[in-house]
Structure 1
Amino acid sequence: MTDDDLLARHRAVLPSWMPLYYDEPIEIVTGSGRRVTDAAGRSYLDFFGGVLTNMLGYDIAEVREAVERQLATGVVHTSTLYLIRQQVELAEKIAQRSGIPDARVFFTNSGTEANEAALLVATNYRRSHQILAVRNSYHGRSYATMGVTGNRTWSASSLSPLQVAWLHSAERLRGLLSRLGADEQVDAAVEDLREVLATQTAGDVACLIAEPIQGVGGFVHPPDGLFAGWKKVLDETGILLISDEVQTGWGRTGEHFWGYQAHGITPDLLTFAKGIGNGFALAGVVGRAEVLNAVPAVSFSTFGGNPVSTAAGNAVLDYLLDHDLQANAARTGAILIDGLRAAAAGLDGVAEVRGKGLMLAVEFVRPGTREPDPQATARVLEACRAGGLLVGKGGLYGNVIRMGPPLTLTEEEAREGLAILVDAIRQVLAGEGGAA
């Protein structure tokens, strides 16, 4: 079968709103470490990891062996109506690591489901369907999570079961708060929260849901301390804080195990997904018992936290901690961000290089302006592929290259990927300059 055959079959049976990267989409057929190979036999260094999901990389023996041991028992599924040893053991580890006192864990299959569950818990606990959300955010593709997603590209429906009021984001290039310094921005954001509560709500708000670093939004992050300013206001009336850690969890930022820890507070609920399964469907929500037990009905998850996915999750978390991958994310991430900032210093089409740890972004604009340049971004994406590097794309205007390499990335691989990316950026921007 050729790539063209598979592409034609894809288009014949799958919906048009499922995008594919690249002018000539690729099928990834094998992987090892931080590298993958496509159906044509071309090898790539992977800096996107299945959208930050293959957190340890590919073909990790400890994860494979843990899954194989579970498969050898013949028990792939039992449902949560039965005791699942792997599930309990993983819940114990996550509860202990969450920072939330007297924590309970509910497992789901994806970040969307995790956020949906967190919203269900918060609205039941507070007996209100009023939600605070942040502009430029992304929380999932389900009915409620679309309602709290502040990015029109991903909001497939204007209908929502929630009443949502919007806070200003930490967008530092174009947002209304971008003109301010870090301390002033926090103060203004807190004032904004107070005004929104006073003017757009009935007072009995259920929660504020926010990403410590906005993933789909282009890895935009606020000044450290913003969540603390928000939480001080929320605590005055008991409004819950949900930290969406689907992309920021497990030490990816290098600085902390969870993104919320940069702000010196503890959320009432946190959601997790992606990296903990290293490709297996695994996600969930953590909250203190009083909050998570607030759902006044029987509920369970048919596949969430199943024996196979939690076997993988236990192996992933153990590997992450045993190899101190948070420190590795800080170390290799510094190579990338320092190198990118040095290379971009004289490039007019690069508006900003930003990120923490192995969560990095480059935002492109038309030279001499702050106007987003999604066309240049798409060309950089293609040029990276041609050079043997897979990266992602995002941002409110589609003008951001996103990178979330596996946390096992080596320093040598960081420098190799950096060289390919810098070459791609220079190639594209030089070409644009010549055309002008």
Structure 2
Amino acid sequence: MTHVPHEPPTLHARHQAVLPSWLSLYYERPLELTHGEGRYVWDAEGNRYLDFFGGILTTMTAHALPEVTKAVSEQAGRILHTSTLYLSRPMVELAERIAALSGIPDARVFFTTSGTEANDTALLLATTHRRSNQILAMRNSYHGRSFSTVGITGNQSWSPTSLSPLQTLYVHGGVRSRGPYAELSDRDFIAACVADLEDMLQQTAGGVAALIAEPVQGVGGFTAPPDGLYAAFREVLARHGILWISDEVQTGWGRTGDHFWGWQAHADNGPPDLLTFAKGIGNGMSVGGVVARAEVMNSLTANSISTFGGSPVTMAAGLANLNHLLEHDLQGNARRVGGLLIERLRAVTAGLDLVREVRGRGLMIGLELVRPGTDEPSPEAASLVLEAARERGLLIGKGGQGGASLRIAPPMSLTVAEAEEGAGLLAEALRTAQGTLAGT
């Protein structure tokens, strides 16, 4: 009897056998990315892709950035881990840089390992300082996957439980082109959202602790209010003593081009009380954190540490990455190349019925897709475009309610030629998806 050897299980099959069913993967045939350089990555089969998503906005400067690789290698050769129980020169140096850049007076910085943990910490600080568990959050928002941050997430696709240690009150304003105020002018839109906030605060018992808001909603599909909304909110919050937490996990470090922080588009009356960051600062290393006024940061009355937050290796990576970002003016590059890319995408999508809106600023661009001939969001269209783009060598992301928006956020060193290449590939993918939908 001839022995027929069994085919070993694929990596995808092994993934499904040992990892949670809710740990979603992109693509019908999920990708294994093996290496990258600059704005390109390669899969296990040797195919090259132009990366327009950067590991969810995390590869901020470039893949395999030599300065970061060198900093990680040199620090790893000295000591990998100490914890926050010991003095750490890299942690103090990065904290000094971030405190100075934050715009928050008398700032203190606490490092975590992720944006989820950063927002969780900000909620702990705000509720402790204010002695209240009431939180204002924006509709369509996303703030992480911990128990507390899921409880304040205003996007049902990413909020698997209604249980929460917090009482969350959802405010209008994060989505400009949908909802009851969509047809208003920017000025009237802001006025209506402020009136809604005022009315909500009159209905609440006790003092609200904080408003947490993404200046540009990330998972929400790169939606944003008109500039100035959060400044107008801040006037109301200040009268009630309510803190403002700016979730800069995706908008920080100059990605929006016009500003180093997203809150600066709403800066008429100063910086937020707390600012959270993560993703891009580590360029792939696990770095997150909170910046807050000393009065707020120091309000905890019990001991607290972070075993892995602020590790020597991740801090060395963050310092090298931040230095590269500033020395090469990647914020300016995001403004210039991002502006060109947005205009190019608006031009190539002008005649496509499935594209409802091209929005964003800098290298943070969203395309909302609808069922052709309607105003109905189409997750099916987004999935079709994602697959068609991958087939052509372009990686993009998804988001928005139900996943009907495309998210484009390349490394901030993107060149003009690469922007043109990506726009062309995405245009082909969109036309293919529209043809498929028309056929069905």
What TM-score do you get using the length of structure 1 for normalisation?
0.98
| 1:3/1:26 contact within 8 Å kept | no
Of 172-181 and 11-20, more deviation after overlay is shown by 172-181
Provide structure 1 residue ranges, at least 5 long, that are not aligned to the other structure. Answer: none
Whether the aligned pair in 1 keeps the contact of 2:275 and 2:290 (CA below 8 Å) is: yes
User: Match of 2:241?
Assistant: 238
Match of 2:324 in 1: 319
Q: Deviations over 1:293-343 (max 9, x none)?
A: 111110010000100000000001000000000000011101210011111
Counterpart in the other structure of 2:174: 170
Tell me if 1:220 matches 2:219. Answer: no
Runs of 4+ in 1 over 4 A off after TM superposition: 1-4
- Match of 2:23? 18
Residues 190, 232 of structure 2: 8 Å contact kept: yes
Deviation at 1:428, TM superposition (A): 1.4
Q: Is the 8 A contact 1:212 1:243 kept in 2?
A: yes
Instruction: Name the residue aligned to 2:426.
Output: 421
* CA distance in structure 1 between the aligned counterparts of 2:152 and 2:375, rounded to whole angstroms: 27
Alpha-carbon distance, 1:157 to partner: 1.3
- AA at the equivalent of 2:210: C
CA distance in 1, matches of 2:162, 2:9: 36
- Cα distance in structure 2, aligned partners of 1:172 and 1:100: 28
Aligned partners of 1:3 and 1:27 also within 8 Å? no
Q: Distance in 2 between matches of 1:285 and 1:175?
A: 32
Partner of 2:258: 255
Cα distance, 1:174 vs structure 2: 2.6
User: Does the 8 A contact of 1:132 with 1:207 survive in 2?
Assistant: yes
Question: Mapping of 1:174-193 within 5 angstroms?
Answer: 174-193=178-197
Asked if 1:117 is matched to 2:121, the reply is yes
Residue 54 (1) aligns with residue 59 (2): yes
Cα separation, partners in 2 of 1:274 and 1:3, compared to 1, 3 Å: farther
Q: How well do the aligned residues superpose, as a CA RMSD in angstroms?
A: 1.3
Residue 41 of structure 1, CA deviation: 0.5
| 1:242–1:267 contact (8 Å) kept in structure 2 | yes
What is the 5 A alignment of 1:36-435?
36-73=41-78, 75-199=79-203, 201-264=204-267, 265-433=270-438, 435=439
Deviations 1:132-170 (A, max 9, x none): 111100001101101110011111111100011110133
Distance 2:384 2:429 in 1: 8
Equivalent AA in structure 1 for residue 72 of structure 2? V
Is the 1:136–1:169 Cα contact (8 Å) retained in structure 2? no
The alpha carbon displacement at 1:368 in A equals 2.0
The answer for unaligned runs of 5 or more in structure 2 is 1-5
| TM superposition shift of 1:3 | 10
Distance 1:3 1:229 in 2: 60
CA deviations over 1:405-424 (Å, ceiling 9, x no partner): 00011111111111100111
Give the drift of 1:4: 6.2
Q: Report the 3-state secondary structure (helix = DSSP H, G, I; strand = E; otherwise coil) of the residue aligned with 1:159.
A: coil
| Partner secondary structure for residue 72 of structure 1 | helix
User: Distance in 2 between the 1:35 and 1:342 partners?
Assistant: 25
One-letter amino acid of the counterpart of residue 236, structure 1 = R
The answer to whether the 8 A contact 1:209-1:243 is kept is yes
- Contact 2:141 2:174 (C-alpha < 8 Å) held by counterparts: no
The equivalent residue for 1:31 is 36
Task: Give the direction of change, closer, same or farther, for the CA distance of 1:268–1:2 in structure 2 (3 Å limit).
Answer: farther
Call closer, same or farther: CA 1:33–1:354 in 2, change over 3 Å: same
Q: What is the aligned-residue identity percentage?
A: 59
CA distance in 1, matches of 2:156, 2:7: 36
The 1-side partners of 2:126 and 2:8 are apart by: 46
Residues matched between the structures, number: 433
Which residue does the alignment assign to 2:3? none
